A = this chain, B = another copy of it.
Amino acid sequence: MSNLTLRPATPADVPQILAFIRELAVYEREPDAVLATEADLLRDGFGPTPRFHCIIAERDESGATHPVGFALYFTSYSTWLGHHGIRLEDLYVTPACRGQGIGKALLRHLARIAVQQGCPRLEWDVLTWNQPAIDVYHAIGAKTQTEWRIMRLSGQALTALANQ
């Protein structure tokens, strides 16, 4: 896709990133789940020690660029492999631009970042009912880690354990 550009996000992209995060939450059937603010994303993504990194996908049409998607990731760690990995938190393409390879282009971009940094793994979570996405992921060679489940401690249970 010759008119597609992938570039690192800047602080000026924060309002668009938050809008994308909210659109993705609607798609994931959790429209009220986004509590993040622009101030949160500015602080955590663009300070001296960023907690995440973000890639913006832009399309150039008639000389004007407009954002069509994003990928947001942080670094994980594998004690088996003795190296950090890339953990994709959010991957999103606007509805009008789906089915045109933009999601795959973002994944390829992340794969290149992983290879450049010597990361042995690029990982992310997927909803079990999101078969269209799972099909894309399997098509590029990703494997579902069927033997593992994610455990989460949060809210009152987290506080209660801390206070014991």
Binding site for B on A (CB under 8 A): 21, 25, 30, 33-37, 40-41, 44, 49, 51-52, 72, 74-84, 87, 89-90, 107-108, 111-112, 114-115, 120-129, 134, 137, 140-162, 164
Contacts and interface: CB of A to CB of B under 8 A. Distances in A.
Contact of A77 (B74, B123, B154): B74
* Stoichiometry (number of copies): 2
Nearest to A75: B51
Contacts of A156: 141
Q: Give the secondary structure class of A's interface.
A: mixed
A24 to B, nearest CB: 8
Given A125-B151, A128-B147, A52 B77 contact: yes
A152 B125 contact: no
Contacts of A120: 154-155, 158
B150 A150 contact: yes
- Name the residue among A123, A142, A149 with the largest chain B CB count within 10 angstroms: A149
Contacts of A80: 21, 25, 30, 33-36
